[in-house]
Amino acid sequence: MRADSEEQGQIATAVAPRRVSMRDVARAAGVSLTAVQLVAAGKPGVGDDTRARTLAIMRDLGYTQRTKPRPEDPRFTLAIISERLVQPIETDIFYAEIWHGIITEAQRNGHRVLMHLLEGGELGVEQLLGSLRGEIDGMILANGGDLTDDLIRKLLESHIPAVLVDNYVVDQPLHCVVADNVTAGYLATRHLLQLGHTRVGLLAGPRKYRNLVDRQEGYLDALTEYGIPVEQALMSPPTHHAGGQKGYRQMLHLLDLPQPPTAVVAISDKTAFGALEALKERGLRIPQDMALVSIDDVAESAHTMPPLTTVNVPRVEMGAEAVRRLLALLRQEAPRPTKTVLYTRLVVRASCGG
């Protein structure tokens, strides 16, 4: 008799339905986990349509609140969404430090971070959102490039709280964290002008990256301030080559001009590394024959021959600040959308002669 009772108990346990979780509700309603938490707690911060849809899904699925109260400061799952780079983002000499800032700040506060690389345009966004709904609480949209303004808007239609880092959308107020790239380009160019150079070239970057476009604007601002005419021939456009190979080709282009510049601003350290190789290949001395200033201040820039004068971009702090802003959004503490701009500073080394 006892054996029968045990067997019945085992059968009852086996067929007992799994308790419906908040993540189940979030997936079915197509909303973020944070939205479900707010609705369940009866708190503001969710639109009327989203609240009504979420409550209806709760009823349909038979969701019931846990008797044990949830902690006041929940643990969130954050997703970094980026384009696929030539090199993995966690090893890229620039973005690895933004990644490090994000991971360190999130883990310091007890939160989890996932990485998702966006591919396939709008189709890729749909697939990504399908896999993320109900699984993450917030998004950090990193850099730009193939993560275009239109794709960013598509991601934001999910109503998952989001912060942009190292990028912004010109005509849409969003939470974003960027470096002062205009000033970075200005500082690099002004330093060369103050050293007496009047023919200052630019190794430009792809216009799909807003940070690089802003750096170019700073270059133009400095020329204008010092009364130096802008010569399009001295602004070497980017090639289809990747990384340092691009800077190498661009520098050769400037060196082959009838009147080459006497100094050059590289849009990034990675570009400058290629430019250094081109100068050495042509037997030119740095800075005696050509002065060079760059932007980023990655670790390798201090160890080139000669060490590279560059503008420091606070990459780790950008990542950490993006996490802080996203957590404030998730806790309903953030003000209206704000563009947070972090200062840059010139680091003078030997590649410019002063």
Give the per-residue pLDDT at 71: 47
DSSP 185-254: HHHHHHHHHHTT-S-EEEE---TT-HHHHHHHHHHHHHHHHTTPPP-GGGEEPP-SS-HHHHHHHHHHHH
The terminus-to-terminus CA distance of the chain in angstroms comes to: 95
DSSP 98-126: HHHHHHHHHHHTT-EEEEEEE-SHHHHHH
pLDDT tens digit string along 34-66?
788 878 877 776 778 888 888 888 888 888 776
Q: Which two tokens stand for residue 6?
A: 């045990």
* Average pLDDT, rounded, for the chain: 88
Do the domains spanning 77-178+315-342 and 181-314 agree at the CATH topology level? yes
Neighbours of 44 (CB within 10 A): 7
Domain 77-178+315-342 has CATH 1.10.260.40: no
**Closest to 145 measured CA to CA, from 118, 170, 163, 175:** 118
Give the per-residue pLDDT at 322: 98
Sheet holding 77-83, edge to edge: 112-118, 77-83, 138-142, 162-165, 176-179, 339-342
Q: Residue 72 has what DSSP assignment?
A: S
Q: Specify the higher pLDDT residue, 88 or 345.
A: 345
290 close to 263: Cβ distance less than 8 angstroms: yes
Domain 181-314 has CATH 3.40.50.300: no
14 pLDDT exceeds 60?
A: no
Domain ranges of the chain: 2-61, 77-178+315-342, 181-314
Percent of the chain exceeding pLDDT 70 equals 90
Give the per-residue pLDDT at 74: 80
181 close to 344: Cβ distance less than 8 angstroms: yes
227 pLDDT exceeds 50?
A: yes
pLDDT tens digit string along 164-193?
999 999 989 999 999 999 999 999 999 999
SS3 344: coil
* In this structure, CATH architecture of domain 2-61: Orthogonal Bundle (1.10)
Give the per-residue pLDDT at 16: 42
In whole angstroms, give the CA distance from residue 236 to residue 234: 6
224 pLDDT exceeds 70?
A: yes
Give the per-residue pLDDT at 318: 98
Percent of the chain exceeding pLDDT 90 equals 63
- Placement of tokens 């200033």 in the chain: 293
146 pLDDT exceeds 70?
A: yes
pTM: 0.80
Give the per-residue pLDDT at 242: 66
